[in-house]
């Protein structure tokens, strides 16, 4: 006795529906559609692979592509010892912590990828350095001979590979991340900065903490200033390029996750080496002011 197969056994796993609402059980379109689907599948796999977590973190952390790039860090703490403060791992056992990457991680990775070109340029320029050192040595030897002294043997300087220098110092990066965390904390408190005088009640509770955060954020905003990031970065006559102000630069990088090149592109500027250096210098100066350095010079110049 034969049994009638179920409808779910007879239907395929995928039913194709055209843009006009027609359903088909087989693939009705040409190879162009297959290519687009294959491209979409490749993008999906690439996003899933990019969301892979390092092996040093807990396996209970789920991989989430929407989280963005993540970085494993060793949790550290500073303890006081007999010989002074020492920095060590917070716990001798356990996994590393996971931190969501930001624009500073991206810019440092870009700088690391481009550092071999810097080393190669320094290697190519080393013969000129040796030639200049030889010329100086010959001039000094001529002076020694004129004084009746013996000449000194010339020892050419050896090539020393330059060490990698990140675009921003650890202190500047820490100030930027503290600013981002403080801004998020104030924004999630539900209290406007204009009403800071009505928050503090002297009780030392949550409202007092919110008031301190808002006052600290306002102080950081004053240190950042609202002047132009650089005098050369001014709007063009045609209106295609807009001025880049220091506050907008700091917010787009620290809060928006944009790199220096993306900030330039958003304001209509070309991301050439000179413009990137100008904005990098302006951003580093703003981060130093947020840390309490270089507060003498006025920054709110129009």
- The tokens 């100008």 sit on which residue? 278
CA–CA distance, 98 with 75 (Å, rounded to integer):
9
Last residue of some domain: 130, 145, 165?
A: 165
- Is 33 within a domain? yes
Lowest-confidence range among 62-66, 228-232, 284-288?
A: 228-232
pTM > 0.75: yes or no: no
| Judgement on whether residues 188 and 272 belong to the same structural domain of the protein | yes
- Is 244 within a domain? yes
**Domain coverage including residue 14:** 8-47
Lowest-confidence range among 16-30, 166-180, 195-209?
A: 195-209
pLDDT for 300 equals 47
% of residues, the chain, pLDDT over 70: 80
pLDDT at residue 24 tops 80: no
Lowest-confidence range among 10-24, 72-86, 153-167, 219-233?
A: 10-24
| Judgement on whether residues 20 and 133 belong to the same structural domain of the protein | no
Comparison of pLDDT for 112 and 302, the residue scoring more: 112
pLDDT digits (tens, 9 = 90+) for 252-267: 999 999 999 999 998 8
- Is 206 within a domain? yes
Instruction: Give the number of domains in the chain.
Output: 3
- In contact, 107 and 167? CB cutoff 8 Å: yes
| Judgement on whether residues 218 and 132 belong to the same structural domain of the protein | no
Cα-flanking dihedrals φ and ψ of residue 265, to 5°? -65, -35
Query: Which three-class secondary structure state does DSSP give residue 86?
Result: strand
- Is 53 within a domain? no
- Is 191 within a domain? yes
CA–CA distance, 100 with 181 (Å, rounded to integer):
13
- Is 183 within a domain? yes
- Is 194 within a domain? yes
| Judgement on whether residues 127 and 175 belong to the same structural domain of the protein | no
| Judgement on whether residues 178 and 287 belong to the same structural domain of the protein | yes
| Judgement on whether residues 259 and 158 belong to the same structural domain of the protein | no
| Judgement on whether residues 148 and 215 belong to the same structural domain of the protein | no
pLDDT at residue 109 tops 50: yes
CA–CA distance, 183 with 216 (Å, rounded to integer):
10
| Judgement on whether residues 144 and 249 belong to the same structural domain of the protein | no
- In contact, 196 and 214? CB cutoff 8 Å: yes
| Judgement on whether residues 222 and 127 belong to the same structural domain of the protein | no
- Is 179 within a domain? yes
| Judgement on whether residues 232 and 213 belong to the same structural domain of the protein | yes
- In contact, 41 and 48? CB cutoff 8 Å: no
| Judgement on whether residues 128 and 227 belong to the same structural domain of the protein | no
pLDDT at residue 13 tops 80: no
pLDDT for 298 equals 46
% of residues, the chain, pLDDT over 90: 39
pLDDT at residue 55 tops 70: yes
């Amino acid at each position: 006795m034969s049994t009638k197969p179920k409808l779910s056994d007879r239907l395929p796993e995928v039913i194709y529906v055209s843009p006009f609402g027609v359903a088909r059980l087989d693939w009705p379109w040409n190879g162009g559609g297959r290519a687009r689907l294959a491209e979409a599948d490749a993008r999906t796999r690439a996003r899933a692979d990019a969301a892979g977590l390092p092996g040093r973190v807990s396996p209970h952390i789920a991989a989430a592509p929407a989280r963005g790039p993540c970085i494993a860090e060793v949790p550290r703490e500073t303890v006081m010892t007999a010989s002074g403060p020492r920095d060590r791992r917070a716990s001798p056992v356990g996994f590393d912590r996971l931190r969501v990457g930001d624009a500073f991680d991206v810019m440092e990775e870009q700088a690391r990828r481009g550092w071999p070109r810097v080393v190669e340029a320094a290697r190519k320029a080393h013969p000129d350095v040796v030639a200049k050192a030889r010329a100086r040595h010959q001039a000094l030897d001529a002076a020694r001979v004129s004084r009746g002294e013996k000449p000194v043997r010339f020892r050419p300087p050896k090539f020393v590979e330059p060490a990698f220098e990140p675009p921003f110092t650890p202190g500047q990066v820490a100030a930027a991340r503290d600013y981002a965390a403080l801004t998020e904390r104030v924004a999630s408190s539900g209290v406007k900065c204009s009403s800071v005088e009505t928050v503090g009640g002297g009780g030392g509770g949550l409202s007092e903490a919110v008031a301190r955060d808002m006052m600290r954020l306002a102080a950081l905003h004053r240190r950042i200033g609202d002047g132009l990031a650089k005098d050369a970065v001014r709007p063009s006559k045609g209106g295609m390029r807009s001025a880049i102000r220091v506050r907008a630069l700091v917010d787009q990088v620290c809060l928006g996750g944009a790199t220096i090149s993306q900030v330039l592109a958003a304001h209509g500027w070309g991301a050439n080496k000179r413009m990137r250096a100008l904005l990098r210098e302006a951003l580093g100066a703003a981060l130093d002011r947020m840390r309490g350095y270089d507060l003498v010079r006025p920054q709110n110049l129009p």
